[in-house]
Amino acid sequence: MSDRVQIKPELFRWAQQRSGISLDDLREKFPKYQEWVDGESEPTMKQLEKFAAQTYAPLGYFFLAAPPQEPLPIPDFRTVSDRRVARPSPHLLDTIYAVQLRQEWMRGFLIEQSERPLAFIGSRTLEDSPEAVAADIRRTLGLEAHWSRTLPTWEEALRRLIQEIEDIGVLVMINGVVENNTHRPLDVDEFRGFALIDSYAPVIFINGRDAKAAQMFTLVHEVAHLWLGKGGVSDIKSLLPSGNKVEIFCNKVAAEFLVPAGEMRAAWTEKKSSEKPFEQMARMFKVSPVVAARRLLDLELISRERYFKFYKEYSEEAAERKGKAAGGGNFYLTLGARLGKRFPAAVYIAAKEGRLPYRDAYQLTGLSGVNYDNFGREHGFERQSFSRNQ
């Protein structure tokens, strides 16, 4: 018989609660689970390894004297009823750890390339006006005042915005799962996005499980965090911030950047009596209808009741459309969004030039072998050299 391992029962309970997996599901997969919790029997090492993998818990944690404390490694701006969210999920923690690892590598790579630190990181404070910060962001990105109106759709505007943000040196990553594991979806009710501050390799991560309509607002919200030099996890329930003053400020910057107040007021006078006025405003400003409605609420041009009624209806329709969408799309294009444009290009070039072992390149990208090579070819990395202005 395999050797049994002595584990404190509270560690099994901790792992179950941390994972969010129901007791019924765990008992079905591990018939002896209740006996382990009650101290009536002990698992084999193989059973413990399987249990750790199933609950997304590091194996070594089970040999501690007590359940570990796992605070978020970055500031937490999320609140529920004005209280801090008690415990981050393993999916959120593992995502932050993975992105931090990529940021650390990218920072070293850029320093080796003799790149200069980015002047806009931490260049503004809460004492500045949101309008001034929004204008500064627009100038830095090289966008004219009415940039979005030249594009056919708000989806095109979102793609353009991501491109411009990456071109000034920010890594933008959009993913709805932990790494490439589709069995570990990220919960949009837990977080919408986060920003990691660094003067060489700042990162914006957007929860890809959120509706595209909300991602544009979250993206600019996180850009505002970079300008303040205050990174952390954001929620923005229904595109509304918590009571945190940093979140409120970033929300105002995002709203002014996407839909300037003066233009919105003038346009609403004309469109408010039309059929589907939020959609009309959205087409004019090349934002999603949800962002348009959110801005109208911010300017007190519509009531909270009207906004939340529309938000609920639009979100339900978007979920239905997403459910009817066929196929999973191109894997390598999807991965390009998950890793961004600049980061995987830098990894690919460093490995190709012999400055990064391929095993490390595989770990950083979550790819290996043929998939890694195909990803590089799909995005043309083998034909690139690296610079911030490529």
Q: Which long-range contacts link 112-120 to residues 24+ away (Cβ below 8 Å)?
A: 112/355, 113/386, 113/387, 115/169, 115/200, 115/388, 117/199, 117/200, 118/168, 118/169, 118/170, 118/199, 118/200, 118/202, 120/168, 120/226, 120/227
Pairing of β 181-185 and β 177-178: antiparallel
In the chain, domain spans: 9-63, 79-258, 336-383
Residue type, 143: L
Task: List the chain pLDDT tens, one digit each, 390 residues.
Answer: 458 899 999 999 999 999 989 999 999 999 999 999 999 999 999 999 999 999 999 999 999 999 998 889 999 887 654 455 568 999 999 999 999 999 999 999 999 999 999 999 999 999 999 999 999 999 999 998 788 888 888 888 889 999 999 999 999 999 999 998 999 999 988 999 999 999 999 999 999 998 777 888 899 999 999 999 999 998 776 666 567 899 989 989 998 999 999 889 999 999 998 989 999 998 888 888 888 998 999 899 999 999 999 988 887 887 676 655 545 556 767 778 899 989 999 999 899 889 999 999 999 998 888 888 888 888 887 666 655 544
Listed residue (67, 68, 94, 71) closest to 12, CA to CA: 67
pTM greater than 0.75 (yes/no): yes
Structure tokens at 13: 């309970």
Per-residue confidence (pLDDT) for residue 81, from 0 to 100: 46
Per-residue confidence (pLDDT) for residue 317, from 0 to 100: 81
Per-residue confidence (pLDDT) for residue 82, from 0 to 100: 47
Per-residue confidence (pLDDT) for residue 380, from 0 to 100: 80
Alpha carbons 335 and 346: distance in angstroms, whole number: 15
Listed residue (20, 76, 67, 29) closest to 51, CA to CA: 29
Per-residue confidence (pLDDT) for residue 378, from 0 to 100: 82
Listed residue (371, 243, 239) closest to 307, CA to CA: 239
